[in-house]
Amino acid sequence: MKAAVTIARILTGLLFIFSGLVKAIDPRGLAYKMQEFFEAWAHDGFLVGLMNNLNDYALGFSIAMITLEVVVGAALLLGWQKKITTWILLLLIIFFTFLTSYVLFSGKIRACGCFGDCIPLTPIQTFTKDIILLIFALFLLLQRKYINPLAKPLIASIYILVITLATLFLQYRVLKHLPFVDCLPYKKGNNILKLREMPADAVQDKYEYMFVYEKNGEKKEFQVSALPDSSWKFVDRKQKLIQKGKNNVPLINDFSFSTASGNDTTADILGRQGTYYLLFIKDLQGYPGSGWDGDIRAIRKIQEQKSDIYIITAQRKDVESRFSNHSTIPIFTCDGTAIKTAARANPVIFKMEGPVVKGKWSWADFDKIQ
At 278 the pLDDT is 95
pTM: 0.81
Is 189 part of any domain? no
Is 187 part of any domain? no
The whole-number average pLDDT for the span 186-193 is 92
Is 195 part of any domain? no
Is 6 part of any domain? yes
DSSP state string for 299-342: HHHHHHTT-EEEEEES-HHHHHHHTGGGTTS-EEE--HHHHHHH
Go through 96-127 and write b for each residue having 16 or more CB atoms within 10 A of its CB, e for each that does not.
bbebbbbbbeeeebebbbbbbbeeebebeebb
Is 201 part of any domain? no
Is 182 part of any domain? no
Domain boundary among 243, 272, 295: 243
Domain ranges, residue 109 = 2-176
DSSP conformational letter for 204:
-
Please confirm whether the linkage preceding 347 is cis (ω < 30° from 0). yes
Q: Which of 95-104, 333-342, 355-364 has the highest mean pLDDT?
A: 355-364
Instruction: Say yes or no: 149 and 55 in one domain.
Output: yes
Reported confidence tier of residue 116, pLDDT bands at 50, 70, 90? confident
At 208 the pLDDT is 82
Report whether 177 contacts 346 (CB < 8 A). Answer: no
Cα angle 161, 167, 173; round to 5: 130
Pick from 70, 62, 86: nearest CA to 9: 86
User: Rounded to whole angstroms, how far apart are CA atoms 322 and 285?
Assistant: 12
The whole-number average pLDDT for the span 58-84 is 93
Instruction: Say yes or no: 119 and 216 in one domain.
Output: no
Is 200 part of any domain? no
At 186 the pLDDT is 92
User: Rounded to whole angstroms, how far apart are CA atoms 184 and 319?
Assistant: 26
Instruction: Say yes or no: 284 and 162 in one domain.
Output: no
Is 271 part of any domain? yes
Q: What is the CATH number of the domain that holds 263?
A: 3.40.30.10
Number of structural domains (the chain) is 3
